[in-house]
């Protein structure tokens, strides 16, 4: 992730939220398992991993893989994360172990919305058929907003649960500035 680019995204997301008075997310959820898969009229589903599908750094387990497979019955399931190479290998091994149909795309690309747009074009996917689940407003949700993704679902439960660590502090500041 390019830090200059990311800093610009943080600023852009704050300024946009303040100027438009609109939420950059389209729905909000406490936890991912409270989602109603059938309520989303989408064909392609994107998920952040940490603090969206599970607590930070906990990774993918059988329960999460079963949920992702429910989405896979409706369309494509893509995982987008900025994790390390080692954790990427761990995610790939868990996807295989729990027979999960989700794809893990290139790591470290968030919040590069131009990259996401080019990937959608490459796949022939229409942004209006896509949903994106994430916990970070200036990372996941901003990327989805700028790529015109129809459903941008903010998942807040894991962030609210934990009050420790730098990343949680950043999230709380983001929520305070953007929401
Ligand atoms: Mg996250």
The ranges assigned to domains in the chain are: 42-178
Superfamily assignment of 42-178 in CATH?
HAD superfamily/HAD-like (3.40.50.1000)
Sign of CA dihedral 89, 91, 156, 39: positive
Q: CA separation (Å) from 46 to 78, 132, 162? A: 5, 5, 24
174 CA from centroid of ligand 1 (Å): 13
The SS3 assignment for 145 reads helix
CA of 11 to the centre of ligand 1 (A): 19
Tell me what pLDDT residue 6 has.
81
Whole-number Å distance between alpha carbons of 166 and 163: 9
Tens digits of residue pLDDT in 70-123: 999 999 999 999 999 999 999 999 999 999 999 999 999 999 999 999 999 999
State how far the Cα of 57 lies from the Cα of 165, in Å rounded to an integer.
Answer: 12
- Contact (CB, 8 A) for 32 and 53: yes
- Dist CA 70 CA 169 (whole Å): 33
- Whose CA is closest to 93, among 131, 52, 65, 53? 65
Question: Does pLDDT of 21 surpass 70?
Answer: no
Distance 137 CA to ligand 1 centre (A): 9
Q: What is the pLDDT of residues 141-161, one digit of tens each?
A: 999 999 999 999 999 988 777
76 sits in which H/E element: strand 76-79
User: CB-based contacts of 112: which residues, under 8 Å, 6+ apart?
Assistant: 2, 5, 143
Cis geometry, peptide bond prior to residue 68 (ω within 30 degrees of 0): no
Among the listed residues 139, 174, 166, 151, the one whose alpha carbon sits nearest the alpha carbon of residue 56: 166
Ligand 1 centroid distance, CA of 48 (Å): 5
97 C-alpha to ligand 1 centroid (Å): 23
CA of 99 to the centre of ligand 1 (A): 23
């Amino acid at each position: 992730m390019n830090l200059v680019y990311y800093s610009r995204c943080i600023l852009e997301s704050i300024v946009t939220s303040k100027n438009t008075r609109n939420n950059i997310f389209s729905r909000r959820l406490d936890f991912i398992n409270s989602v109603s898969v059938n309520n989303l009229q989408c064909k392609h589903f994107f998920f952040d991993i940490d603090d969206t599908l599970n607590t930070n750094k906990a990774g993918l387990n059988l329960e999460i893989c079963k949920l992702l497979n429910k989405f896979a019955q409706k369309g494509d399931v893509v995982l987008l994360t900025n994790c390390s190479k080692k954790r990427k290998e761990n995610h790939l091994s868990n996807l295989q172990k729990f027979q999960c149909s989700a794809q893990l795309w290139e790591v470290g690309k968030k919040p590069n919305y131009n990259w996401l747009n080019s990937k959608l074009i490459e796949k022939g996917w229409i942004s209006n058929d896509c949903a994106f689940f994430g916990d970070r407003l200036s990372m996941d949700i901003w990327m989805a907003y700028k790529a015109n993704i129809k459903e941008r679902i903010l998942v807040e439960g894991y962030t609210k649960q934990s009050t420790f660590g730098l990343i949680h502090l950043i999230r709380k500041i983001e929520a305070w500035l953007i929401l």
